[in-house]
Amino acid sequence: MPLLIDKGQFNPSTLLWYKTPAKKWDEALPVGNGRLGAMVFGSNSEERIQLNEETYWSGGPYSTVVKGGAKVLPEIQKKVFEEKYLAAHNLFGRNLMGYPVEQMKYQCLANLHLFFKNQDSVTDYKRWLDLESGITGVSYMANGITYQREVLASAPDQVIVIRITADKPGSISFTANLRGERNQVHSNYATDYFRMDPYGNDGLILTGKSADYMGVEGKMRYEARIKAMPEGGTIKTDDVNLIIENANSVTLYFAAATNFVNYKDVSADQHQRVTNYFKGIENKNYNSILTSALIDYKKYFNRVSLQLSNTANSFLPTPERVKKIQTEPDPSMAALSYQFGRYLMIGSSRPGTEPANLQGIWNDNMNPMWDSKYTTNINTEMNYWPVESGNLSECAEPLVRMIRELTDQGSQVAKEHYGARGWVFHQNTDIWRVAAPMDGPTWGTFTVGGAWLCTHIWEHYQYTMDKEFLKETYPLIEGSVQFFMDFLVPHPNGKWLVTNPSTSPENFPDGGGNKPYFDEVTGGFREGTTICAGSSIDMQILYDLFGYFIEASKALGKDDAFIESVKAAREKLVPPQIGRDGSLQEWADDWKSLEKNHRHFSHMYGLYPGKVLYEKRTPALIESYKKVLEERGDASTGFSRAWKMALWARMNDGNRANKIYKGYLKDQSCTSMFALCGRALQVDANFGVSAAVTEMLMQSHDGFIKLLPALPYEWSEGAFKGVCARGAFELDFTWENKTLKQLSILSKAGEVCRLEYKPGLKISNNGKNIKYKKLPNGLVEFQTIKGSIYQAR
Per-residue pLDDT at 221: 98
Per-residue pLDDT at 102: 94
pLDDT above 90 as % of the chain: 95
Q: Which of 428, 306, 310, 436 is CA-nearest to residue 377?
A: 428
The DSSP symbol for 242 reads E
pLDDT category, 73, cuts 50, 70, 90? very high
3-state class percentages of the chain: helix first, strand second, coil last, to nearest 5: 35, 25, 40
User: Average pLDDT, stretch 590-617?
Assistant: 94
CB 586 within 8 A of CB 624: no
| pLDDT one-digit tens code per residue, 341-357 | 999 999 999 999 999 99
pLDDT tops 70 at residue 643 = yes
pLDDT category, 515, cuts 50, 70, 90? confident
Per-residue pLDDT at 392: 98
> Rounded to the nearest 5 degrees, what angle is found at the Cα of 691, between the Cα atoms of 638 and 377?
55
pLDDT category, 189, cuts 50, 70, 90? low
User: How far are the Cα atoms of 32, 688, 716, 718 from residue 356, in angstroms, in the given order?
Assistant: 11, 13, 34, 30
pLDDT category, 188, cuts 50, 70, 90? low
DSSP run (H or E) holding 225: strand 221-231
CB 558 within 8 A of CB 465: no
pLDDT category, 184, cuts 50, 70, 90? confident
Can you spell out the DSSP letters for 320-361? HHHHHTTTS--THHHHHHHHHHHHHHHHH--TTSPPPBTTBT
Cross-sheet strand order for the sheet of 110-116: 29-32, 36-40, 46-53, 110-116, 172-180, 241-247, 234-238
Burial class from Cβ neighbours inside 10 Å (0-12, 13-18, 19+) for residue 268 reads middle
Q: Chain-wide mean pLDDT for the chain?
A: 96
Per-residue pLDDT at 191: 87
Query: What sign results for the dihedral spanned by CA atoms 24, 47, 211, 433?
Result: positive
The residue type of 315 is: F
R_g of the chain computed on alpha carbons: 27
CB 348 within 8 A of CB 37: yes
CB 219 within 8 A of CB 66: no
pLDDT category, 187, cuts 50, 70, 90? low
User: Average pLDDT, stretch 387-392?
Assistant: 98
What is this structure's pTM?
0.98
| pLDDT one-digit tens code per residue, 121-153 | 999 999 999 999 999 999 999 999 999 999 999
pLDDT tops 60 at residue 542 = yes
> Rounded to the nearest 5 degrees, what angle is found at the Cα of 489, between the Cα atoms of 484 and 491?
135
Per-residue pLDDT at 597: 92
At residue 305, φ and ψ (nearest 5 deg) are -130, 140
User: Average pLDDT, stretch 282-301?
Assistant: 97
The residue type of 249 is: S
366 CB contacts (<8 Å, ≥6 apart)?
A: 105, 107, 108, 181, 182, 183, 184, 185, 189, 211
User: Average pLDDT, stretch 626-653?
Assistant: 97
User: Average pLDDT, stretch 212-226?
Assistant: 96
CB 268 within 8 A of CB 285: no
265 CB contacts (<8 Å, ≥6 apart)?
A: 61
| pLDDT one-digit tens code per residue, 710-748 | 999 999 999 999 999 999 999 999 999 999 999 999 999
pLDDT category, 512, cuts 50, 70, 90? confident
User: Average pLDDT, stretch 440-467?
Assistant: 97
